Amino acid sequence: MTDWLVAARALREEIMRRFLEPHSRQLVTYSEHFSSGSIPTPDEARSGVPVSTGYSTGTEDGALRGGALLAAMCDEYDLAPDDGLREQALRVFSGLQRAQYAVPEPGFVPRWVLSDGRTCYSDSSGDQHTILVYGLWRFCRSALADVDRKLAAGSIVGSIITRIRNHGWRILALGGGDAHAGGGLDRIRLLALLAAAHEITGVRQWRELYTEYAATGIEPEIALLLGRGPGTPPWWGFYGPEQFSQLLTMLVESLRGDTTPFVRMRTEIGRRFLRGPIPTPPHTPEYTDSCRAALGDAVAIKTPFDALAVFRPELLGIDEDRGWREDYSEWSSGGRLPEATSYIKWWLGKRPGICHERNCLISPMVAFHICLLSGDAGLIEQVSGPIEAYFEHVELTRANKLGSLTTAYATAVAMARIEAA
């Protein structure tokens, strides 16, 4: 049987060793970027090279992954307080805080802040904003946050929700225009942000706005988000369902009164995702023939339960070029427009190691983590065995993609919490 706290600690140490840029204390998406000179220059970011989101550069998910990692660290610390863990968690928090203080427009959540300490890519996303808030919300509830850090987190969250409100409840890129992904807030995301903002800041206005927007009822919104039929809606990507589960957790734990609709939706998301294909259709890379051949049966997987059977150990941790400048030169010379989604699907499709991790590690682990977050006893029982099998048979610490390790880490911590309950 896996000792979940030991497993979590090993993953956390690997994340801090290979993915946390030591000066800025920000997380890189791929383990070698900050040591190989692949991090973009401020001029490249200002010019939107390769794309306005920074996809493929290693700087595309600093806020999202930082928020998710901080939340899991808080959960681990509450289970097993440790001075080393505390120091690491405060480093992650300080990196997130530093990035927020650096941007030119208060409340905008940068994916990453570059070497000059103030420049970032102009485009963010709904998930960068909401999962940063989730991490700060969890941090403020933990024993890790002293009074000064709670005030600092509250200031950040207050700026984020104020900017969103001032733009008509939309998340905008710097300079205007909707963020690349998730610019418009659905009702669940809006309610979760308002509930968290009220709890963290104590500002009554956010609670009043929550009450106003919840008054019209959320059942139609839930039906819309879940979609028709028993499967996964086409808008669900690799991270969307997990993020919604985290947002629903904020709603369930922050509110007084009836939270049954949120609990029910959280459980249904888990059930749906266990039945869904990997990768989800909107996020399928443009596989090259050589990438497709290397992946074999892992190129498309029926459900998360089938992923371990097609896992290929020889593709885990392979020395695979993840540089982006030559690729961008090839992309742009072909006359293609710098559209973020098309670019990253093309870039990924050339890299079997990353695609293998997305298909065989991140996606199934996200699905299992969702079920643990649901609190539903049946779902937890259904995924506990597969999670145990992953930790028994896969050297997860060898992964080269940050999302593989952070999701596995959060899953191990969640299993430890369940065992301790």
53-72, pLDDT tens digit by residue? Answer: 999 999 999 999 999 999 99
pTM over 0.85: yes
Q: What percent of the chain has pLDDT over 70?
A: 93
Question: In this predicted structure, what is the pLDDT of residue 328?
Answer: 92
Look at residue 338 and tell me whether its pLDDT is greater than 90. no
Helix (H) or strand (E) holding 370: helix 363-374
Domain ranges across the chain:
3-317+340-420
Cβ pair 416, 79 in contact under 8 A: yes
Dihedral (Cα; 233, 176, 64, 27), 10-degree rounding: 140
> Is the separation of the CB atoms in 294 and 343 below 8 Å?
no
Distance CA 226, CA 236 (A): 9
Q: Look at phi and psi of residue 255 and say left if phi exceeds 0, alpha if psi is from -120 to 50, else beta.
A: beta
Say what the pLDDT of residue 281 is: 72
Region 197-215: what's the mean pLDDT?
Answer: 94
Res. 217 pLDDT band, cuts 50 70 90? confident
When pLDDT is averaged across residues 183-207 and rounded to a whole number, the result is 89
pLDDT in tens, 321-332: 767 999 999 998
Does domain 3-317+340-420 fall under CATH 1.10.3470? My reply is no
pLDDT for residue 175: 84
Q: What pLDDT is attached to residue 183?
A: 58
Phi, psi values for residue 349, rounded to 5°: -65, -10
| Residue 181 dihedral angles phi and psi, to the nearest 5° | -130, 125
Whether pLDDT at 238 is above 60: no
Find the range with the poorest average confidence among 33-47, 78-92, 199-213, 383-397.
33-47
Residues 6+ apart with CB under 8 A from 371: 270, 273, 274, 379, 380, 382, 383
Please list, in sequence order, all residues whose beta carbon lies within 8 angstroms of the beta carbon of residue 259, skipping any fewer than 6 positions away: 251, 252
Q: Distance between the two ends of the chain, CA-based, in angstroms?
A: 17
- Each residue of 281-310: pLDDT tens digit? 777 899 999 999 999 999 999 999 999 999
Specify whether the CB–CB gap between 249 and 188 falls below 8 A: no
How far apart CA 238 and CA 285 sit, in angstroms, is: 12
Euclidean distance between CA atoms 377 and 388, whole angstroms: 17
Rounded to 5, what percent of the chain is helix, strand, coil?
65, 5, 35
